Structures are given as structure tokens and as C-alpha cells.
Copies of this chain bind each other. A is one copy, B any other.
Amino acid sequence: MRKTLKEIAQAIQGEVIGDGSIVITGVSGIKEASAGDITFLANAKYTPLLNTTAASAIIISKDTEPPATKAVIRAENPSLAFAKVISLIAPAEIKHPKGIHPSAVLGKGVKLGKDAAIGPYVVIEDNAQIGDKAIIYSGCFIGQDTKIGDCALIYANVSVRERVLIGNNVIIHSGTVIGSDGFGFVEVNGKHHKIPQVGSVEIGDDVEIGANVTIDRARFDKTIIGRGTKIDNLVQIAHNVVIGENCLIVAQVGISGSTIIGNNVILAGQVGLVGHISVGDNAIVTAQSGVSKSIPAGAMFAGYPARPFLENQKSHAYVHNLPKMFELVKELKKKIEELENKLKDK
């Protein structure tokens, strides 16, 4: 976890400029970094941050002018080099469960991968499959025919229902529920009759899912979370939602049924989306927005109902200026009355 800058440079075949003896204790983005961190510069847009970042060292390209006051490592490809550094200075793993605890209840036909670890009081139903090196903490429930990929890490008290597919290297935090029934009813004479929810959920490789998240199974077909997408705590994902790759879904977001989210989308905290709409690739929705219509690719939306960010901001500015405006209109009214009187007099 503690490495000198020189040690890091050697590991990534880079060249130190500055003091190679400084000790690096963490990794971070260039904006969020604090003392002790190493960061990287891959986007010329952030070049001014070279001098202002609180990081102790920065990985830069061979063409970039190093800052006067900071130690750097010059590397062929700063992004790739930084990705290597992340795993290099990752902390010693906490001691995860090992082996199959004798209290684990394994159904008929359950297949456990090589070196999979199953904690106490885990229940795995018939014909479920657990991948190689997967780790499942105590109290988890894995439903029948569900398949969990290699190197999955599932913390305590997670519930995964039947026929769910979970990819490789997926991390799921405690209390999360995957594959619960979608919220689907038909009203017949004032009573809500349940529409069977017989679809499933499919979660791609490298997905991380926070604590106490809920992801409902599809009515038919699948609710899908694309590869590399990261989901924060207490997020609600309804039946038949499709989320693309490498999205960031921040805490307490709610996505209604059958809505489709593209790749690299960011939904900030507490955003809500109605059902049956789409959000294009690379779109960003700011915190607490309420999205009632589809959002085009690359757009940044805000507010309720969500609109293009600048438009929404302008609206806020106009509302802020209403007191002045009301004052002005009052004044104009008075002037008009004066003019009317003057004209009468003539």
C-alpha cells in the first residue's frame, strides 16, 4: 500500500522527474486528489490542474511539460500506466471467507467453481452455478438456476432470486435484492391483479452494485445492466429496464419500467425517470432531476421536468429576477397612468 515514486515508476516502466523518494499512499482523480495520492493527466483540458492538484505526484505523457512544483512520472500511455498503479498500490485484501462453510445449504445440482468460497448460512438453491474464485458472504440467498460468474464478490445478506445471470468480477454490497418481481398489475373492477413476472435479470462483467439496491426481474425477457456499469446504494431499477455499459448510477436514483439507458450515462443522486423512455449515450442528468421524456445522446439535462441544463439554469435565473421584474412592471404602470393624465390635460 505504500510505495515510493521510484518503485511505481519502475513497475510501469516510466521515468521520474523530481523527487523519486516521496511515498505514495493512494490513487485518485486529478481533481479529487489529496496529499499522498498519485494521479494522472490524460486529457489536455485538465492541463491547468497540473499545478493546482493536491496530489503528490502525477503520471503524464512524454509530450506534456512537467509542472515546476510537482514530481511526475513520464509514461508512454498515462491512462494505462495509471490503471496499473491502481492495482499496484491497492490495499492488502481483507481476509475474505475461504472454502465452503459446513452450514451452507446447497441444493441439488449446484455447481461450485474452483476455489469458490461460501460463507456460513448461505442458501444456494437447486442447479445454481457459482464461478471460480467467487466469494459469497454469510446469509446470502441464491435462487434456483441462477448463475454467478468468476471472481464475483457478494457481501453478507444479499438476495438473488431464481434464473438471474451475473457476470464475472461483479461486486454486490450487503442487503441488495436482485430478481424481485416487477411492479405489474392489471386493474379489474377496482382490484389490482398481479401480472406474472417470469423474466429475469442479466448483469454484465465488472459491474458493481451498492448496498440495499433493488433490481426487479423483467415481466418476460430480461432486465439488463451492461458491463462495467457502477450502481450506488439504494437505487431502484424496475422491470425490463436496460442499462448500457460503463454508466454511473448514483445513490437513490429510481428508473421506471422498460426505460433504456445508453452507454457511459451518468445519473446523479436521487434522479427519477419515468418508464418507457430512453437516455442516449454519454448523457448526464444532474441530481434530483425528474426525467419525463427521452434524452438525446451527449445531452446534459436538469430540473423537473428535466430540460437541457442551460435552459433550466436560465429559467432559474428568470425566477430569481421576478421580484425586480414585478417592481419594474409596477413602475411602468404608474408611468403609463401619468402619461394618460398628461394627455387628458392637453
Binding site for B on A (CB under 8 A): 1, 25-29, 40, 42, 79-80, 82-83, 86, 90-91, 94-95, 101, 103, 105, 119-121, 123, 125-126, 137-139, 141, 143-144, 155-157, 159, 161-162, 171, 173-177, 180-181, 183, 185-196, 198, 206, 208, 210-214, 216, 219-220, 228, 230, 232-234, 236, 238, 246, 248, 250-252, 254, 256, 264, 269-270, 272, 274, 287-288, 290, 292, 304-305, 314-316, 318-323, 325-326, 328-329, 332-333, 335-336, 339-340, 342-343, 346
Contacts and interface: CB of A to CB of B under 8 A. Distances in A.
A83 to B, nearest CB: 5
A327 to B, nearest CB: 11
Contacts of A156: 123, 141, 159
Contacts of A1: 198
Contacts of A94: 143-144, 162
Contacts of A161: 155, 174
17 contacts: A26-B220, A82-B188, A90-B196, A157-B159, A183-B210, A211-B214, A233-B236, A236-B269, A252-B254, A256-B269, A269-B274, A270-B290, A305-B316, A325-B326, A335-B336, A336-B339, A339-B343
A305 B101 CA distance: 51
Copies in the complex: 3
A90 to B, nearest CB: 5
A183 B212 CA distance: 14
Question: Which of A25, A105, A157 has its CB near the most chain B CB atoms (within 10 A)?
Answer: A157
A175 B177 contact: yes
Chain A interface mostly: loop
A162 to B, nearest CB: 5
Given A79-B189, A94-B143, 13 more contacts: A83-B193, A86-B194, A123-B139, A141-B174, A155-B180, A173-B177, A180-B233, A191-B206, A214-B233, A233-B236, A251-B256, A288-B304, A318-B322
A338 to B, nearest CB: 8
Contacts of A264: 190
Contacts of A248: 185, 192
Contacts of A86: 186, 193-196
A121 B123 contact: yes
Contacts of A42: 188-189
A234 B256 contact: no
A336 to B, nearest CB: 5
A208 B234 contact: no
A329 B329 contact: yes
